[in-house]
């Protein structure tokens, strides 16, 4: 039995595990990853991602590489009992706040391969595929994983911390007896992916559609190229295994297509759940992705939530492992992961359930009342509702104690003018702590810049579109202190208040904001 020692061990190598490995590897940490499957899952499960996730991909250096596998999300139109339009979900108008198209559809296997290719270029990350994690134990100094390699026996991998990214049936979560809280959503659905030919495409709507019909609520999502997805609710008494059979699936698709119109790529029955882990940290072990939560798919946020998890966790682990944060402050920083992400997941799941309640009403009279109410609320004229308006902010954890509407929100990423053209803010200033100022002249005259803090001076590095300047003006502040995961720690209403904001952050962290980019 051999033993290896790493900074972080990751169990599971789906999207959350891949991003976690990449972000930790970029920091120069030694990382071990184990995964039961040898290759990425060949059939897409997630189909949607958003601009926040593209910003994380940018940090990993793969944003351009994944673009060929992504397309803008079309509008989503909701139709009621009598076929009338009752809601339209759209994108925010340009200029786009994060520097990318706000909502996108994507081809998951290709994007996962791109992420894995990025990680393979990191010599400090060891990826162990086709193996099984048998047991996880921990003590005061670290975590031990018992890894079974077929034909090679069992080995022990030792790490200072571990992240469970091993999916909804997480072996890590089960072994550590970390229960899930039920957020009261449990419905059977059939998910169907079709590669549609030209004849079939001519029959289908040009936008994504939610059929809010009591008889059988269902959804069509327009994926990349000729990929179309149906999510079809099952009726009481329907056998999920029967409807998965090709002939039965085509019967459910008959409203739109015939077998001559395309090729079934996948048909799988699921029970859509709303679940969240009661605790996200147990000592040196953290849960992330589907191991920590599951939510209905109505806003396409499942994979996005997992990437948000590891984007939040990895910079905190990096700061602790680098020794930038120590003692009680280090423990508090790591605890803030679960505080922030659990509350965010619960709130977003609540909002997703609200969208699901609109779609899934089975009582005809109640559904008709829903349609009447929704049309009355908009004066009979359906207005565009940007999807991003539904995403919540952080409410607790590592945030300034001074309440403000901007605190805990995702700070925008403006395009900045450079000598050679333009560049996104993160590419120009990195992903460490950043102080974004409308004009740094007065600040620099009165306050010294803490080591490791990047100052983004919009006066000397002007924007192309004014996204950040408008954000500061709209939030009535002159400065925003932005964390490494791009969320706003706090803001300063005046130049005189900036020093206090920096002192508060330093005192909270027990450091001088010297987190690496």
* Each residue's pLDDT tens digit, 244-290: 999 999 999 999 999 999 999 999 998 888 999 999 999 999 999 99
Q: Which of 438, 410, 412 is nearest to 426 (CA)?
A: 412
Fold of domain 3-71+104-180+276-357: FAD/NAD(P)-binding domain (3.50.50)
Q: CA 454 to CA 456: how far, in whole Å?
A: 6
How far is residue 105's CA from residue 50's CA, in Å, rounded to a whole number? Answer: 8
- Helix residue ranges per DSSP H, 14-86: 15-26, 51-60, 63-66
The per-residue pLDDT for 420 is: 83
Q: What is the pLDDT of residue 512?
A: 53
Predicted local confidence at residue 511, as pLDDT: 62
With a cut of 70, say whether residue 18 has pLDDT above it: yes
Up-side HSE of residue 444: CA atoms within 13 Å toward CB? 13
Q: Are 406 and 417 in contact (CB under 8 A)?
A: no
**What is the CATH T-level fold of the domain 415-509, as seen in this structure?**
Glutaredoxin (3.40.30)
pTM score: 0.95
pLDDT above 50 (res 22): yes
Confidence of residue 3 (pLDDT cuts 50, 70, 90): low
Each residue's pLDDT tens digit, 183-196: 988 889 999 999 99
Q: What is the pLDDT of residue 354?
A: 87
- What pLDDT, in 10s, does the model give residues 56-101? 999 999 999 999 999 999 999 999 999 999 999 998 889 999 999 9
Q: In this model, does residue 1 exceed pLDDT 50?
A: no
**pLDDT (tens digit, 9 = 90+) per residue, 387-417?**
877 889 999 999 999 999 999 999 999 999 9
Query: Cα–Cα–Cα angle for 431, 434, 438, nearest 5°?
Result: 135
**Distance between CA 42 and CA 214 in Å, rounded?**
34
Using pLDDT thresholds of 50, 70 and 90, give the confidence band for residue 514: very low
Q: Give 482-491 pLDDT, tens digit per residue.
A: 999 999 999 9
pLDDT at 157: 97
| Domain ranges within the chain, ordered by starting residue | 3-71+104-180+276-357, 415-509
Which helix (H) or strand (E) segment is 348 a member of? Answer: helix 327-360
Other beta carbons within 10 Å of 274: 23
Mean pLDDT score, 217-224: 97
Give the separation between CA 259 and CA 264, rounded to whole angstroms: 8
Average pLDDT of the chain is: 94
How open is the CA angle 161-162-163, to the nearest 5 degrees?
A: 135
Q: Is 430 left (phi over 0), alpha (psi -120 to 50) or beta?
A: left
- Does residue 299 register a pLDDT over 90? no
> How much of the chain exceeds pLDDT 90, in percent?
84
Q: How confident is the model at residue 447 (pLDDT cuts 50, 70, 90)?
A: confident
Q: Is the pLDDT of residue 480 over 70?
A: yes
DSSP line for 215-265: T--EEEEE-STTEEEEEEEPPTT--HHHHTSHHHHHHHHTTT--GGGEEEE
449 — pLDDT class (breaks 50, 70, 90): confident
pLDDT above 80 for 341: yes
pLDDT at 2: 46
Is residue 51 helix, strand or coil? helix
4 confidence band (pLDDT: 50, 70, 90): low
């Amino acid at each position: 039995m051999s033993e290896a020692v790493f900074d972080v061990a990751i169990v599971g190598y789906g999207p959350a595990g891949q991003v976690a490995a990449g972000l930790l590897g970029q920091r120069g940490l030694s990382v071990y990853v184990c995964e039961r499957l040898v290759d990425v899952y060949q059939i897409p499960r997630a189909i949607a991602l958003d601009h926040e996730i593209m910003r994380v991909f940018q940090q990993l250096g793969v944003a351009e590489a994944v673009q060929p596998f992504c397309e803008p999300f079309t509008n989503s139109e909701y139709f009621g009992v009598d076929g009338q339009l009752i809601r339209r979900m759209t994108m925010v108008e340009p200029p786009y706040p994060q520097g990318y198209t706000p909502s996108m559809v994507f081809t998951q296997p290709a994007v996962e391969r791109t992420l894995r290719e990025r990680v393979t270029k990191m010599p400090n990350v060891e990826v162990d595929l086709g193996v099984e994690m048998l047991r996880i134990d921990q003590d005061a100094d670290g975590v031990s994983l018992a890894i079974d390699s077929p034909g090679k026996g069992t080995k022990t991998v030792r790490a200072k911390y571990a992240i469970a990214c091993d999916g909804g049936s997480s072996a890590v979560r089960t072994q550590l007896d970390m229960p899930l809280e039920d957020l009261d959503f449990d419905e059977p659905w059939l998910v169907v992916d079709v590669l549609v030919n030209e004849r079939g495409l001519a029959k289908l709507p040009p936008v994504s559609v939610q059929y809010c019909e009591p008889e059988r609520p269902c959804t069509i999502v327009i994926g990349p190229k000729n990929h179309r997805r149906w999510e079809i609710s099952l009726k009481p008494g329907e056998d999920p295994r029967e409807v998965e059979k090709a002939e039965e699936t085509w019967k459910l698709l008959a409203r739109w297509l015939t077998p001559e119109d395309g090729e079934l790529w996948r048909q799988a029955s699921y029970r859509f759940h709303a679940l969240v882990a009661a605790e996200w940290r147990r000592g040196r072990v953290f849960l992330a992705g589907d191991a920590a939560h599951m939510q209905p798919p109505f806003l396409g946020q499942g994979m996005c939530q997992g990437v948000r998890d590891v984007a939040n966790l990895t910079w905190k682990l990096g700061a602790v492992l680098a020794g930038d944060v120590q003692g009680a402050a280090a423990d508090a920083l790591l605890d803030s992961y679960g505080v922030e992400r659990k509350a965010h997941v619960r709130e977003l799941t609540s909002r997703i359930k609200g969208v699901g309640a609109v779609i899934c009403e089975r009582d005809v009279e109640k559904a008709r009342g829903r349609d009447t109410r929704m049309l009355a609320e908009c004066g009979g004229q359906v207005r565009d509702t940007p999807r991003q308006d539904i995403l919540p902010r952080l409410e607790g954890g590592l945030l300034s104690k001074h309440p403000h509407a901007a605190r805990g929100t995702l700070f925008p990423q403006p395009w900045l003018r450079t000598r050679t053209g333009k560049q996104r803010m993160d590419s120009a200033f990195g992903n460490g702590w950043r102080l974004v100022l409308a004009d740094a002249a007065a600040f620099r005259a009165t306050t010294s810049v803490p080591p490791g803090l990047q100052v983004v001076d919009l006066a000397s590095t002007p924007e192309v579109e004014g996204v950040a300047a408008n954000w500061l003006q709209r939030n009535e502040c002159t400065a925003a202190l932005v964390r490494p995961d791009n969320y706003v720690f706090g803001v300063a209403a005046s130049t005189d208040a900036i020093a206090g904001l920096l002192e508060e952050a330093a005192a909270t962290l027990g450091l001088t904001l010297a987190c690496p980019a």
